[in-house]
Amino acid sequence: MSIIKTEGLTYVYGEKTPFRKVALDNVSIEINEGEMIGLIGHTGSGKSTLIQHFNGLLKPTSGKVLVDGEDFFADKKKLREVRFKVGLVFQYPEYQLFEETVEKDIAYGPKNMGLDEDEIKRRVNEAAELVGLTKEQLLKSPFELSGGQKRRAAIAGVMAMEPKALILDEPASGLDPQGRDRIFDMLKKYHTEKRNTVIVVSHSMEDIAKFADRILVMNEGKVFCFDEPPKVFGRSREIEQIGLAVPQVTRVINKLCEMGYDLGDDVYTVGYAEKQILKKLNKVQI
């Protein structure tokens, strides 16, 4: 069943001004319950505009957005419910922390949902565990945490709302490789444990390729492609042409293919590249 669905979604910035810009152009996609989606596009491709429609922060100029099959823009009361169903973590979310303690900050969303104390407590603890924050860290001021910890605390604040779909805009930007791996491991864990939909927005094909069930590539406000990773990477040359960086290993394998070594056109991880090369070598040796 689909959790988020758009039908002919179009969004225009600055209608009737000289700065008019079509940010989304007739986008129709369907995201299923429990899917792990990677959303890729360069700056200005419309990816940020798109996710802000999923929880009603932006209203379509034309077309529809359905969450759980409901057109929530038709009924204003539903708007808040939708924000609890679709949790949105912005880029650099640590800048939204404001409470005295990490615990209270994570509780802010659940409290806004009007849950009772016990339930809030349960959710805060669960979210903290998911992102790997300790009990002592929960009692600290969010401003005493390190950069990576702050980031994880802010993500926990949205996870604690237990949204059916969790959307994260560039969750690893600005972090070092270790911090980046930690965030992605945490998201994988969240996804396997909760089986909720997760949508990760990123510039980096490399990060996304490792875990996404399907990848949505946006270009100039339109859906460029929306498919499983091998199929998306099968079009890696076109993807480079629209200004996105494909993983280094994909470029290497592509070049080898051009030189006449058939290693497949859907290679996007080091492990898979290794396997393809080994297969070739072993076959040759036999």
Partner 1 sequence: MLKDITLGQYLPGTSPVHKLDPRVKLVLTVEFIVMLFCAKNMWAIGVGALFCIISFALSGVPASLMVKSLKPIVPLVLITSVLNLFFVRTGDVLWKWKVLQITTEGRDTALFMIARIVLLIIGSSLLTYTTSPIDLTDAIENLLSPLKKLKVPVHELAMMMTIALRFIPTLIEETDKIMNAQKARGSELDTGSFADKVRGMVPIFIPLFVSSFRRAEELATAMECRCYHGGEGRTRMKQLHTTYRDLIAAIYTTLFFGGIIALNVLIK
Partner 2 sequence: MQYFLDAENVNFSYMNDAEEPPVRTEVLKNVSLRVEKGEFLAVLGHNGSGKSTLAKCFNAINLPDSGTVTVAGLRTDDENNLLPIRRTAGMVFQNPDNQIVATIVEEDVAFALENLGVEPKEIRRRVDEALKTVGMYEYRMHAPHKLSGGQKQRVAIAGILAMNPDCILLDEPTAMLDPRGRKEVMDTVKRLNREQGVTIVLITHYMEEAAQADRIAIIDGGEVLMDGTPKSIFSQVETMKHLGLDVPQVTELAWRLRKDGFDIPADIITEEECVQAIAALLEKGR
Binding region for partner 1 (CB under 8 A): 52, 55, 57, 76, 79-80, 83-84, 87-90, 93, 95-98, 108-109, 112-113, 143, 157-158, 161
Q: How many residues bind partner 2 (CB under 8 A)?
A: 38
Out of partner 2, partner 1, none, what residue 255 binds, judged by CB under 5 to 8 A for its kind, is partner 2
Q: What is the distance between the alpha carbons of residues 25 and 63, in angstroms, rounded to a whole number?
A: 10
Q: Which of 75, 100, 119, 144 binds partner 2 (CB under 8 A)?
A: 144
- CA 77 from centre of chain: 27
Query: Taking a C-beta distance cutoff of 8 angstroms, is the pair 201, 47 a contact?
Result: yes
The structure tokens listed for 144 are 């005493």
243: left (phi over 0), alpha (psi -120 to 50) or beta: left
Instruction: Enter the tokens of residue 277.
Output: 């090369």
Q: Which stretch binds partner 2 (CB under 8 A): 21-29, 153-161, 219-227, 247-255?
A: 247-255
Min dist CB 273 to partner 2, Å, is: 6
Q: Is 54 exposed, middle or buried (0-12, 13-18, 19+ CB in 10 A)?
A: buried
Strands 165-169 and 30-32: unpaired
Q: Is 139 in the site for partner 2 (CB under 8 A)?
A: no
Given partner 1, partner 2, none, residue 109, with its beta carbon under 5 to 8 Å by kind, binds partner 1
Smallest distance, partner 1 to C-beta of residue 170, A:
13
Please report whether residue 252 would count as binding partner 2 according to CB under 8 A: yes
> Rule CB under 8 A: is residue 242 a binding residue for partner 2?
no
For residues 170 and 131, give the distance between their C-alpha atoms in angstroms, rounded to a whole number: 16
Closest approach, Cβ 205 to partner 1, in A, equals 26
Residue listed under structure tokens 């990677």: 38
Single residue of 25, 70, 99, 206 touching partner 2 by CB under 8 A = 206
